[in-house]
Amino acid sequence: MNRIVKASITADMVVENIGLMETMEGRAHREHKGIKCDWIAHEDLVNAFKALTPHVALICELPEAEGAGLEDEFESLTVKGFSIGGEEDHEGITITATRILVSGLTMNINTPFVKWTDGSYLHITDLASAAYQLQEEVNLYYQGKQAPKRQLEMFADEMEAELSLSDDGVEELAAEPKKRGRKKVTKIE
């Protein structure tokens, strides 16, 4: 069984620095660090990262978080990664985010380590749930769940126009394919 303990997402929506703990037979563990996948993250995974945004604002006690709740949006914040550490009663999470300042500069933010058993953060149950969902989505991504290929979408109409359905349900080309190769040269004598 694999357990995701760390991941970060790039501006290109590629997940990298995946850390996972593999549980072997018995209680043996094998840790894998720095795994990077080259495909674009699925929308579900991107949304799972976004779900941690209000927690960053609330945990770090940012000025715009005063009086805000989990349903509020914080447009200047972008969650970039998370790391789960500790064991049993001492397990918790650190979230990494960036904040766009009024000047346009980017500031990196790391939340303090928050234990799952910590009673000082009022939304710890929601944070644990969001973190679990993110772990599941990263695991699915690691197993191959990715965003649909969009490069071919612009040709979809042309491809559909060239295909027709025959009586037996098999798609066939509507017109003869273009011949390729050299043209025949005829000599005039």
Residue type, 102: V
User: Is there a domain that residue 163 lies in?
Assistant: no
User: Is there a domain that residue 154 lies in?
Assistant: no
Q: Which tens digit of pLDDT belongs to each residue from 117-135?
A: 978 899 999 999 999 999 9
Q: Which of 48, 68, 59 is nearest to 94 (CA)?
A: 59
Q: Please, which pLDDT band fits residue 81 given cuts at 50, 70 and 90? A: very high
Q: Please, which pLDDT band fits residue 16 given cuts at 50, 70 and 90? A: confident
User: Is there a domain that residue 171 lies in?
Assistant: no
Answering whether pTM is above 0.75, one says no
Between CA 123 and CA 50 the distance in angstroms is: 16
Instruction: Return the pLDDT at 180.
Output: 63
Q: Please, which pLDDT band fits residue 179 given cuts at 50, 70 and 90? A: low
Please give the sequence-ordered ranges of beta strands (E in DSSP) within the chain, or none if there are none: 2-9, 15-23, 29-35, 77-85, 92-100, 106-110, 114-115, 163-165, 171-173
Range of the domain at 134: 2-142
Between CA 15 and CA 142 the distance in angstroms is: 9
**Cβ contacts of 177 within 8 Å, gap of 6 or more:** none
Of the CA atoms within 13 Å of residue 41, those in its CB half-sphere come to 25
* Range in 42-51, 116-125, 137-146, 167-176 the model is least confident about: 167-176
Residue type, 166: S
What is the tally of structural domains in the chain? 1
User: Is there a domain that residue 155 lies in?
Assistant: no
Residue 166 has pLDDT above 50, yes or no: no
Q: Which DSSP letter does residue 140 get? A: H
User: Is there a domain that residue 62 lies in?
Assistant: yes
User: Is there a domain that residue 182 lies in?
Assistant: no
User: Is there a domain that residue 157 lies in?
Assistant: no
User: Is there a domain that residue 148 lies in?
Assistant: no
Ramachandran angles phi, psi of 169, nearest 5°:
85, 10
